[in-house]
Amino acid sequence: MITEEQVRNTLKAVKYPGYSRDIISFGLVKRVTVTGGAVSVGLTLNSGNQDVARQIKADAEQALRALPGVTEVAVEVSQPSAGAASGSNPWSQQNRVPGIRRVLAIASGKGGVGKSTVSVNLACAMSHLGLRVGLLDCDIYGPSIPLMMGTREKPTVTPADKMVPPMQYGVKLMSIGFLIDGDQPVIWRGPMIVKTIQQFIGAVEWGELDFLLVDLPPGTGDAQLTLCQTVPLDGGVVVTTPQEASLGVVRKGIAMFQKVNVPITGIVENMSYFVTPGGERVEIFGHGGGKGESKRQNIPFLGEIPIFTQIREGGDKGVPVTVSAPEEAPGKAFLTVAKAIVEIYK
């Protein structure tokens, strides 16, 4: 005798296409009926994407047929008309920040892999593509966005006590760095982090944005988890270097998002390789580790960023390469990743 619970447990093996999360935990399975050996399941998607619906239906049917005792399987998928609703995103609109279409966090398994560099350049690349973008620096230990974006302008405050984020290179910015003085060390306790981040979301006039990118502090500990739970995230981008990927450090970043049920947008491999002035490609840390891991984990691979002196210089000068030379090789690498992300959420 098959039970409804067995059916639901079986469906937990069916992942939402492109995500590491299953269709049960996304709350898509609305109805399960069992009559003898006949199992009938009803799913409702938020997305109008036909491919997603087909894939989920096929995977669910296959999983259920493999269940001992099942003689008949019917999986019915209902969804809004194609192109309507929220593209391929499985999340409902509930916890959204009004006016902001997508909130994506940038994380990594460990520090120094270029998270902030990637965040800054992705934001500027998206702005270059004509999108409305915000960049929120949540690095409570060492906010580097003000330096990399070349501004120390503090937010102004409206009569209604809302902070107006300064705009630089077409990107609206908020950073803990704007609110603390110079090198003053900050000791953050959990409740302070939550309160400050809540204000960054609720008390900042972001206006209408296509994407709000959130640069997280290095690591995957409690502070990072708290941040991920405080900001209503639509996705997480994991930055890795080939070396970190081969050591499996990238998995920590992936696991962190999974722990707090944030769908993984994809992996970016930074510092992939180095091109000598003579045009020779040198793979300093090996190559392709990020792509390999994304295949193993069935997560989108968003692209690779080579090592370019201009990228570091751009960060130090406060003029990202995606602003100074968006169509040259270093800038183009970020544009490719930005386009891959836009494609996922279109």
**Smallest separation, CB 271 to ligand ATP (Å):** 5
Q: How many CB atoms lie within 10 A of CB 247?
A: 14
Sort residue 169 into left (φ over 0), alpha (ψ -120 to 50) or beta: left
Q: Which does 113 bind (CB under 5 to 8 A by kind): ligand ATP, Mg ion, none?
A: ligand ATP
Contact 172, 134 (CB under 8 A): yes
- The burial class, CB within 10 Å (0-12 / 13-18 / 19+), for 89 is buried
Q: Does 103 bind ligand ATP (CB under 6 A)?
A: no
334 binds ligand ATP (CB under 6 A): no
> Out of ligand ATP, Mg ion, none, which partner does residue 246 contact, by CB within 5 to 8 A per kind?
none
> For residue 180, what is the DSSP state?
S
Q: How far is the CB of 193 from ligand ATP (least distance, A)?
A: 16
101 binds ligand ATP (CB under 6 A): no
3-state secondary structure of 147: helix
Beta-strand runs (E) in 55-127: 72-78, 100-107
Beta bridge partners of 134: 172, 212
Residues 31-90 that bind ligand ATP (CB under 6 A): none
Indicate the residue among 137 and 234 with the shorter CB distance to ligand ATP.
137
Question: Applying CB under 6 A, does 207 fall inside the site for ligand ATP?
Answer: no
Please pick, from the candidates 108, 116, 168, 241, the single residue that binds Mg ion as defined by CB under 5 A: 116
Backbone angles phi, psi at 224, to 5 degrees: -65, -40
Interface pick for ligand ATP out of 315, 320, 326, 331 (rule CB under 6 A) = 315
Question: Site residues (CB under 6 A) for ligand ATP?
Answer: 108, 111-117, 139, 142, 144, 218, 270-271, 305, 307-308, 311-312, 315
Question: Site residues (CB under 5 A) for Mg ion?
Answer: 115-116, 144
